Chain A
Amino acid sequence: MVGLFGKAGILGVLLLVSLSGCDFRRVVVNDPLLADSLEVLVPGKSTIQDIATALGAPDEIEEGASGMVFRYRYGDSKTMRVNFGWVLRVLLPVAPSMNLGRGEGATYILHVALRPDSTFDHSVIQPPPDTPHFWFWPF
């Protein structure tokens, strides 16, 4: 009775209705840090300009034990929320809010240490933390 187009339409509407109580949010800060870009840096030879060409300008510069330390940051966070009260909007004049939500965030940090003559010495990149996931269960 209802064709393929109709079935797809019904499924689409049902999916939209079921998702309406959901909320998916993501915040991304800066570009991902790529360990491959460090391979071009040679200790004692690569200059500040070489580092900037490979990695861009750092987010922070600090005084290290034997020279400067450049710090780069990349952040990624995901938040999901489900409003179980949304379904009651169909039955009640006022939809109560019954939310369950969870957010996960990861910060990736790269340190680049320089020698006193402002050439590249070494870098430290943290092992990538678990990629954040979308999930609503907070317990």
Chain B
Amino acid sequence: MFWKSQAGFSHQWRNPRGLLLLASLLVLMTLANGCAFVRGEVGEPFPEDRLQTIEKGITNRQEVAQQFGAPDDIVQANGHEIFHYRRFDSKLGWLLFFSRLNIGSDHLWVFFNPQGIVDDVVFGNRTKNVDFQIWPFGE
């Protein structure tokens, strides 16, 4: 059995194709220092059921704060007080010498009238489009 396997091994070494394949594999393994997939998130997601609780003309400042916490920013514009909540999601794909980091952001803007009642709500979910990608070329 031992002799048989040894014969097979030496036979493989005599075969230039096998040697080439082995050498290629070794070089590839040396080069393949590894790959990485890293994800970073900042802020809490905005669940659909919580967004549904905000009703124009009914919900007040306090109720919005109870659902989403203190806003990241408060903006004054055109007579409105606007609560701004944001969330970031990033996905990094890295393989050998190629890497791509995609970053997306979600924004929730809640507009209040001077009485402190919700006047308008704008929500944009861009983090759902963030994918893990490695190839840095093209779009």
Contacts and interface: CB of A to CB of B under 8 A. Distances in A.
A is bound by B: yes
Interface of A: 1-3, 5-6, 9-10, 12-13, 16-17, 19-20, 22-31, 48-49, 52, 56-59, 61-64, 67-68, 78, 114, 116, 118, 134
Contact of B31 (A16, A24, A59, A64): A16
Given A24-B99, A78-B136, A63 B77 contact: yes
A24 B98 contact: yes
Interface string B80-122: 1010100000000000111111111111110100000000101
Main secondary structure of the interface of B (DSSP, over half): strand
Contact of B122 (A17, A52, A63): A52
B20 A57 contact: no
Main secondary structure of the interface of A (DSSP, over half): mixed
Contacts of A67: 77-78
A16 B103 contact: no
A116 B77 CA distance: 10
Contacts of B104: 29-31
Interface stretch (B6-14, B35-43, B62-70, B123-131): B123-131
